[in-house]
Amino acid sequence: MLDNIAVVLRGHLRTWEWNAPQVFTFYSSIAHNVDYYISTWATPQLRDVKIDITFRENLPKAFLKVGFQDREYTSWGGPALLSLHILPYVRQQHKKTPYDVIFDSRPDVAPRLMLGESICPIQENTLYTTNFTNLLDKNGDRNIGMMDHMLVSKFNVFEAMCDRIIIDSADTKECHVDMLDFAKKQGFRVSNSLPWMDATMIRPCGMARFDNVQDEVYGRNLIEPEQFPTWESCTLEQKIELLDMQNIEHLDYITNNPTINLQPYTDVVRDQFVNNK
The per-residue pLDDT for 187 is 97
- Which among 44, 17, 9 is positioned nearest to 250, based on CA atoms? 44
Q: Is the dihedral of CA 221, 246, 70, 102 positive or negative?
A: negative
Q: 48 with 76, same domain? A: yes
Residue 137, pLDDT > 70, answer yes
Cβ-Cβ contacts under 8 Å for 166 (sequence gap 6 or more) = none
Q: 100 with 26, same domain? A: yes
Q: 214 with 244, same domain? A: yes
Q: 217 with 191, same domain? A: no
Q: 143 with 98, same domain? A: yes
**Amino acid type, 163:** D
The parent domain of residue 68 ranges over 2-199
Residue 34, pLDDT > 80, answer yes
3-state secondary structure of 214: helix
Residue 277, pLDDT > 60, answer no
Q: 10 with 139, same domain? A: yes
Lowest mean pLDDT across 167-171, 184-188, 270-274 = 270-274
Strand order in the sheet with 189-191: 62-66, 31-41, 2-10, 101-105, 150-153, 126-129, 189-191
The per-residue pLDDT for 128 is 97
CA separation, residue 199 to residues 26, 31, 72, 228 (Å):
10, 17, 25, 22
d(CA 66, CA 259): 25
d(CA 22, CA 271): 35
Q: 56 with 171, same domain? A: yes
The per-residue pLDDT for 52 is 84
The per-residue pLDDT for 272 is 66
d(CA 68, CA 137): 26
**Amino acid type, 53:** I
Q: 248 with 228, same domain? A: yes
Q: Estimate the crossing angle of helix 16-30 against helix 47-54, to 10 degrees.
A: 40
Residue 7, pLDDT > 90, answer yes
Per-residue model confidence as pLDDT tens digits over 81-116: 999 999 999 999 999 999 999 999 999 999 999 988
**How much is the average pLDDT of 6-19?**
95
CA separation, residue 83 to residues 62, 181, 204, 219, 244 (Å):
12, 18, 24, 30, 28
Per-residue model confidence as pLDDT tens digits over 241-262: 999 999 898 888 988 777 888 8
Q: 88 with 220, same domain? A: no
Residue 225, pLDDT > 70, answer no
Q: 193 with 218, same domain? A: no
pLDDT range class, residue 46, cuts 50, 70, 90 = low
Buried b / exposed e along 83-98 (16+ C-beta atoms within 10 A): bbbbbebbeebbeeee
CA separation, residue 102 to residues 122, 128, 269 (Å):
10, 11, 33
d(CA 62, CA 166): 24
Per-residue model confidence as pLDDT tens digits over 151-178: 999 999 999 999 999 999 889 999 999 9
**How much is the average pLDDT of 24-29?**
95
**How much is the average pLDDT of 3-26?**
95
Number of domains forming the structure of the chain: 2
The per-residue pLDDT for 68 is 76
Half-sphere exposure of 244 (CA within 13 A, CB side): 7
pLDDT range class, residue 150, cuts 50, 70, 90 = very high
Q: 63 with 192, same domain? A: yes
- If one compares 43 and 7, the residue with the highest pLDDT of the two is 7
Which CATH number belongs to the domain containing residue 31 in this structure? 3.90.550
Torsion of CA 247, 251, 257, 262, to 10 degrees: 70
The per-residue pLDDT for 44 is 74
d(CA 30, CA 22): 13
Q: Could you say which of 199, 215, 248 is where a domain stops?
A: 199
Name the pTM for this structure: 0.93
Q: Could you say which of 176, 199, 222 is where a domain stops?
A: 199
- If one compares 265 and 88, the residue with the highest pLDDT of the two is 88
Residue 276, pLDDT > 60, answer no
Q: 155 with 227, same domain? A: no
pLDDT range class, residue 269, cuts 50, 70, 90 = low
Angle among Cα 97, 101, 106 to the nearest 5 degrees reads 115
Q: Could you say which of 139, 171, 199 is where a domain stops?
A: 199
Bond into 225 cis (ω within 30): yes
d(CA 24, CA 6): 12
